[in-house]
Each structure stands twice: as C-alpha cells, then as structure tokens.
Amino acid sequence: MIKPLNNNVVLLIEKPENKTNSGIILTESATEKTNKAKVIAISDKLKNEDKNLTIKENDIVVYKKYSGVEFKDNDNEYLIVEIEDIIAKL
C-alpha cells in the first residue's frame, strides 16, 4: 500500500470506456483520458492537521488535468496529487 507524504493524496485513475453507447469499440488512442479518480489514500499530515478536510478515502473526485505524478502498479494507474489540485467531489 502506498502512503502519501506531506499534503498529498493518492488517486486511482478511472479507465476510460473503450466502447461507445452504440457498441463501437474504440482504440486506446481514440479514448480521451478522464480527470475523475477514486481517492485511495490521504497523507497522515492532512488527516491529523486539517479538521475541515472534505474528502475521504473511496470518494470520487475531479482533479486538475496536468497535475501530480503518475505511476502504474500491476494493471492500475495511480496519480499522486497535492490536495489543492483536487477541485471537486462527485
């Protein structure tokens, strides 16, 4: 399990749909990357110091498009972002 440090949050990036509503299968290059993700982990610093924290683990959030550090583990894509880069909760 990855543990974020400082003011960081680990997000699990949602995989874009590879099929349209009409059933056409799209290639990976034709699918647009989404900026929605599931919160996997929140740093201990944020949990302990920010009593007004509005997100929690397993929330679905929207993040700024060009933010954070991406990495892959097995078949999942993760993103580590600063809390300020999360702009909405769904």
61 in a structural domain: yes
Determine the Cα–Cα distance for residues 49 and 28; give it in Å rounded to an integer.
41
pLDDT reported for residue 32: 65
pTM for this prediction = 0.81
Both tokens of 61, joined, read 């959030």
40 in a structural domain: yes
25 in a structural domain: no
83 in a structural domain: yes
Domain count, the chain: 1
Question: Which structural domain range is residue 72 located in?
Answer: 8-17+32-89
Do the Cβ atoms of 83 and 46 come closer than 8 Å? yes
Give the CATH number for residue 36: 2.30.33.40
Per-residue confidence in pLDDT tens, the chain, 90 aa: 789 999 999 999 987 667 777 777 776 665 567 789 999 999 999 988 877 888 999 999 999 988 899 999 888 899 999 999 999 999
Both tokens of 76, joined, read 């999942």
3 in a structural domain: no
26 in a structural domain: no
